[in-house]
Structure 1
Amino acid sequence: MPPLVSDPARPNGAAAASQDDDIIIRVEDVTVRFGENTILDNLSLDVRRGEILGFVGPSGSGKSVLLRTILGLNQKQGGTIDVFGINYPEASDDDRLAVERRWGVLFQHGALFSSLTVLENIEVPMREYLDLSPALMHELARLKLDLVGLPQDAAGKFPSELSGGMIKRAALARALALDPDVVFLDEPTSGLDPIGAADFDQLIMTLRDTLGLSVYMVTHDLDSLFQACDRIAVLGDGKVLVEGPLSTMLAFDHPWVKSYFHGKRARTIVAPENAGHAQEGIV
């Protein structure tokens, strides 16, 4: 998928119309404050159809704040948020409901309901938004279990009986319950061992390719950024500092970006196409 170039100049004519058709979420000049503390300051960001967007930044910079603001869980003090062409914060209840049925969310640490089984957790969005018989909901929920690679005997287990990796997959199955067009992932590989994290990244890429998903992923995981993401956006000082493919991150001259993408840990997982640069001391 062609990357979005972080050039302020926008194409004209048919090319511009084509790019606009690919944008499913458009955040423009969004400001979020908590008291006197400004977290997001006129921030703008687009999410495109069929891409895995990795959203990264220093701890406390506002990554999860932006995610929650897009979802309507935080109030903004300025700017616009369009989702599927609808101004979501200002939309009618019916329009907001239509938007919400087209997204799924995997919150950090899974956020499964501890008193419900895995199957019951997956069915929660179906009970909220759909009018289905219990038997049909059970069948659909079991299909979601298969989709995320969980065994069927996990259906009757409670979250306390699951490993960390199984919790992530169960939460992903719940996020996919309504067959969404876009999924939001908040630190999806945190707490997983390297093998489990790599398997989860591969699962996300497979689901994107097979289901045509768009993925908005807040992450600190360098492996995920290097291997799974089509495009990366870096948050700093309340704004998007830079966005684009990995090559753009490696070339961007900013202290935090350089430290993050050129550090010792990054060197150990540098993409093969950048190996030549690594030998030259660029990476």
Structure 2
Amino acid sequence: MTTTRDVETEGPDGNGEVLLSVSDLTVAFGDNVILDRLALDIKRGEILGFVGASGSGKSVLLRTILGLIRKRSGTIKLFGLDLEKVTEEQRLRIDMRLGVLFQHGALFSSLTVLENVQVPMREYLDLPKKLMDELAMLKIELVGLPPDAAYKFPSELSGGMIKRAALARALALDPDIVFLDEPTSGLDPIGAADFDELVAKMRDTMGLTVYMVTHDLDSLFSVCDRVAVLGNRKVLIEGTIDDMLKSEEPWVKSYFRGKRARQLDLAARP
């Protein structure tokens, strides 16, 4: 039997596996075309920052990749498999290899942190309660939350703790790819920097691949290996921060070479 792990492919330059490949993707709501023949690849082990102006379609792309929004045309491949052609069993295996942190955390308010982290386990696995409790506690500790946070409800947590709890839930099944939607939104600069450091640590220790939708320049400069910019309904440019700083594309130039970006760049350089 072919599994998702049997068909992963190298990137077009032969430099690393491509875990997510999007090609010729078009998404529209009626006559309103949001994404038009968009193409994007993500390689194993990288942190990709995905940016664009408000309303450009960043969250639409993310939700389309996750199957929450239907595409009009194009191809989405995860782990080398075309999502339109997979069997039900293959789709289940793919879903188990994905973790998602939605904007604002999206924790279930009536569940404790421990119970929130266990939601994916209950959905996909058949485990004894004691084992689920132990695994959930491991994830909670992994993201830097104190043990007593496990028994608190989301309303009892700070914004930073909510983000960490949501990340623990995203990591519940030890995924290969984690999708983060505005993970530092609403956090103070110190909390945002701590979260960025945590994401980088998770990538290095767990071998995660990270798709991060963000508008946070600090995150882009400090933890992202590559950046993809969405504009005019497609990816305008993708590359390193240095590539972004050299771009003459008007929006990219304004975003990455504006006053605040220059201050960050100078602060980051020795």
Q: Output the TM-score relative to the length of structure 2.
A: 0.94
Match of 1:90 among 77, 81, 85: 85
Give SS of 1:206's match. Answer: helix
Alignment match, 1:211: 206
Give SS of 1:270's match. Answer: helix
- Once residues 15 and 182 of structure 1 are traced to their aligned partners in structure 2, the CA distance between those partners, rounded to angstroms, is 16
Amino acid at match of 1:155: A
Structure 1, unmatched stretches of 5+, are 1-13, 276-283
Question: Pairwise mapping of residues 33-182 of structure 1 onto structure 2 (< 5 A)?
Answer: 33-182=28-177
Alignment match, 2:227: 232
Percent identical pairs in the alignment equals 67
Structure 2, unmatched stretches of 5+, are 1-9
Runs of 4+ residues over 4 Å off in structure 1: 14-17, 271-275
Contact 1:117 1:157 in 2 (8 A): yes
1:259 aligned onto 2:264: no
Instruction: Sort the Cα spacing of 1:16 and 1:142 in 2 relative to 1 into closer, same or farther, 3 A.
Output: same
Give SS of 1:114's match. Answer: coil
- Once residues 271 and 199 of structure 1 are traced to their aligned partners in structure 2, the CA distance between those partners, rounded to angstroms, is 20
Instruction: Sort the Cα spacing of 1:153 and 1:273 in 2 relative to 1 into closer, same or farther, 3 A.
Output: closer
Amino acid at match of 1:234: V
Q: CA deviation at 1:272?
A: 6.0
Contact 2:60 2:69 in 1 (8 A): yes
Alignment match, 1:269: 264
Give SS of 1:243's match. Answer: strand
How many matched pairs?
261
- Once residues 137 and 210 of structure 1 are traced to their aligned partners in structure 2, the CA distance between those partners, rounded to angstroms, is 22
Amino acid at match of 2:157: L
Instruction: Report the RMSD for the aligned CA atoms in angstroms.
Output: 1.5
Residue-by-residue CA offset, 1:98-122 (whole Å, 9 max, x unaligned): 1000010000000000000000000
Q: CA deviation at 1:160?
A: 0.5
Contact 1:226 1:271 in 2 (8 A): no
Contact 1:72 1:89 in 2 (8 A): no
Q: Output the TM-score relative to the length of structure 1.
A: 0.89
Residue-by-residue CA offset, 1:28-53 (whole Å, 9 max, x unaligned): 01000011100000000001000000
Alignment match, 2:197: 202
- Once residues 45 and 226 of structure 2 are traced to their aligned partners in structure 1, the CA distance between those partners, rounded to angstroms, is 11
Give SS of 2:92's match. Answer: helix
1:18 aligned onto 2:14: yes
Contact 1:28 1:81 in 2 (8 A): yes
Amino acid at match of 1:23: V
Q: CA deviation at 1:90?
A: 3.4
Amino acid at match of 1:28: S
